[in-house]
Structure 1
Amino acid sequence: MRRIARAPNAAIASLWADMLQEAGIAASVQRQYLSSVAGEIPPDQCLPEVWITHDEQEGAARALLDELQALPQRRWHCACGELVEGGFESCWNCGRPMP
């Protein structure tokens, strides 16, 4: 097993691990409950971590995480009048795709 990333919180770590698993890379989240001991140990050592099972998949896993973290951010107005910001390609209000 090899650690490939520390996440800012358990939700992000879970999303990253899920994306890796969807790509066929065996991944798990470790230390997701360690934040409760922050202060007893340094806070930066309490962050949740994403680990992969097979070391030979490290390159592919890191490339996928880099791609995931570099999603383009957009700001556009939907025909329904909603302002959509972020990495979304469809309107959250009506479901129309980005023009």
Structure 2
Amino acid sequence: MLRLTQAPDIAMAMLWRDLLCEAGMPASVQRQHLGAAAGQLPPGECLPEIWLAHEEHAERARALLREFERLPQRQWLCRACGECIEGGFEQCWNCGACMPR
């Protein structure tokens, strides 16, 4: 096993783990409950970590996470309900209308 990286929070750690697993690189999240010890331990030691099952996946896994960080982020106004949508979403979370093309 190889420690790939630390995540800023448990939600991001789970998202990264799922992304890697779906790409055929078995991964796990370690230290996911250590946040409760913040204040007792140094903050850097309490962050969740992503571990790869196979060290030979390390380069490909890092490339995939870098690619994920560079996903296009948009800001658009839903024509149907007027909701302001931010991020990589192509559908309005409020009414379900698709992003205008």
Q: Which amino acid aligns with 1:82?
A: E
Aligned partners of 2:85, 2:52: CA distance in 1, in Å? 34
Paired position in structure 1 for 2:19: 19
Deviation at residue 39 of structure 1 after TM alignment: 2.2
In structure 1, the residue matched to 2:4 is: 4
Equivalence for 2:71:
71
The Cα shift of 1:97 comes to 2.6
Q: Which runs of 5+ in 1 are unaligned?
A: none
Distance 1:41 1:77 in 2: 44
Per-residue CA deviations over 1:42-79 (Å, capped at 9, x if unaligned) read: 11111000110001111111111111122222111122
Amino acid at match of 1:92: W
- In structure 2, runs of 5+ residues without a counterpart are none
Corresponding residue for residue 84 of structure 2: 83
Deviation string, structure 1 residues 21-55 (Cα, Å, up to 9, x no partner):
11111000000011122222211111000110001
Q: How far apart are 1:96 and its partner, in Å? A: 2.8
The root-mean-square deviation of aligned C-alpha atoms, in Å, is 1.2
Q: Separation in 2 of the partners of 1:40 and 1:82?
A: 43
Equivalent position SS for 1:24:
coil
Aligned residues: 99
1:35 equivalent in structure 2: 35
* 2:14 match: secondary structure: helix
Question: What's the % identity of the aligned pairs?
Answer: 58
1:96 aligned residue: 97
For 2:32, give the aligned amino acid. Answer: Q
Question: What's the offset of the Cα at 1:89?
Answer: 1.6
CA distance in 2, matches of 1:11, 1:58: 21
